[in-house]
Amino acid sequence: MSTPIITLRPSGWTFAAQDGETLLRAAERAGIELASSCRNGTCRACICRLAPDSRGAAVRYLVDWPGLSVDEKRDGYLLPCVAVAEEDVAIEQRLARRMPA
Ligand code: FES
């Protein structure tokens, strides 16, 4: 299986997601902090959106009912704490921060 590359917008930062790794965990492993709280797909603290050129990209969830409506999913919203990218994606997350080394 390939290693999806995740691009954050507008920063342009990129990181690789290992097989089955959530976007949140992959970002943290790369030293990037995304908003989060529950980390189980219920609180919505981490909600962000696929960039327009990534809408429709293959993203799967580790839980059956992530805290998103059908309309939100269709509009490209996702919860990085429980979302796994199956291919390269770009997501809009203005609150991403580099973690101190
Ligand atoms: S951190 Fe709570 S839904 Fe993602």
* Domain ranges within the chain, ordered by starting residue: 5-98
Ligand 1 pocket test, candidate residues 22, 39, 73, most atoms within 8 A of CB = 39
Residue 35 sits at φ, ψ, to 5 deg, of -60, 140
Residues ≥6 apart with Cβ < 8 Å to 65: 41
Q: What is the homologous superfamily of the domain 5-98 according to CATH?
A: Beta-grasp domain (3.10.20.30)
37 lines ligand 1 (CB under 6 A): yes
- Of the pLDDT bands very low, low, confident and very high (cuts 50, 70, 90), residue 64 is confident
Host H or E run for residue 26: helix 23-29
User: Does 21 score more than 70 pLDDT?
Assistant: yes
User: Does 1 score more than 70 pLDDT?
Assistant: no
- What is the reported pLDDT for 59? 93
